[in-house]
Amino acid sequence: MTQNEKLAELSGAGVAVWLDDLSRDRTRNGDLQTLVDDYSVVGVTTNPTIFAAAVSGSDSYDDQVHAMAVRGVSVEEALRTITAADVRDACDLLAPVARRTGRDGRVSLEVSPRVAHDTDATAAEAAHLWWLVDRPNLFIKIPATQEGMAAITTSIAAGISINVTLIFSPERYRMVMDAYLSGLEQRVRDGGSLTGIESVASFFISRVDTEIDERLDKAGADPALKGKAALANAQLAYQSYEEVFSSDRWRALQGRGARPQRPLWASTGVKSQDYPDTRYISDLIAPDTVNTMPEKTLKAYADHGSPGTPIQQTYDEAAKVMKAVTEAGVDLDDVFKVLEDEGIQKFVDSWEELTESVRSELQDKK
């Protein structure tokens, strides 16, 4: 098969195509390599939910779990050994992409969601995972909680590449960009090099529509407002990105070799059948962005996707949409807080599920 034209065109417009999924089977059976070769995939994101599904749905982990069971390792150690191995293998598979692009070919591994509200524990685990996987094309994922901001700065200052996840509001996104720049500035003060440090800021999309649509319904708002907030929210976030990464503060760091922290569109699979299945790709096209997609969404765009209005032409309309949503009675601050809390809890639940799955496997394999 040759390179899919629609995804190649998307890449040509400045959107890095990443896959929002990983499993040991994908790396071993050639599936991930096919997506790289034929579908323009240049990166991979993972989260606790993805790993829970991978481990419980495959026997590819049996030999490794057996080896750890007879050694009597703890559940936590087994958990990290399994996930780190998968991410390390994916990093190796994507290493040629990393060499070719200089910035993609990245694979993300998340700190435990249990420490999302503990700054020191988050920074410590980020450093441990960076050491454990030991690949230059790794991203450590840190949730964009208030407590996560200082951990992002500390990690960047230590030379660790970070994927900041669970961002829902433009205001929190600005804090994330500030945390990134502060980390770079700290590293410069400490005499470190900025070469090789990368970061992305994962701005969540579909969950915003799900939550706001429900509130618009309850408020008896104009149905025409539904399905517009998530895109408008992300479009305004990109406007903030353009402002921050054209500032004098940024240029000073750029002169020392820093790379911009790219916006990454996450949660881009539609949750409602009322909306086109490619809408969170088509209408979020802009230079220096990443779109991480479930395979179903990736294949849908490859089949029938088409570019929408470029983000830079949407700012005025996006501001009007968010104003209208607020005037309809939707408390956006509460929306974003609820989404962050739910996002953390969802990953905690998946982490517990993964922990129990590994604990059970360790007992069975003794």
Residue 187: both structure tokens together: 């590293």
Q: For residue 107, give the 3-state DSSP assignment.
A: strand
Active site residue 320: no
Q: For residue 235, give the 3-state DSSP assignment.
A: helix
Q: How far apart are CA 2 and CA 193, in angstroms?
A: 39
122, 128 contact by CB (below 8 A): no
145, 116 contact by CB (below 8 A): yes
Q: For residue 257, give the 3-state DSSP assignment.
A: coil
Instruction: Count Cβ neighbours within 10 Å for each residue of 101-137 and write b for 16 or more, e otherwise.
Output: eebbbbbbbbbbbbbbebbebbbbbbbebbebbebeb
How many other β-carbons are positioned within 10 Å of the β-carbon of residue 76?
12
- Give the closest residue to 235 by CA, choosing from 259, 213, 263, 261: 263
Q: How far apart are CA 196 and CA 259, in angstroms?
A: 8
Q: Which residues face 141 on adjacent strands?
A: 110, 163
The CA distances from residue 266 to 77, 155, 202, 213, 263, in Å, are 29, 22, 6, 19, 9
What are the DSSP calls for 167-199, one per residue? E-SHHHHHHHHHHHHHHHHHHHHTT---TT--E
The catalytic residue among 141, 228, 271, 320 is: 141
What residues act catalytically?
141
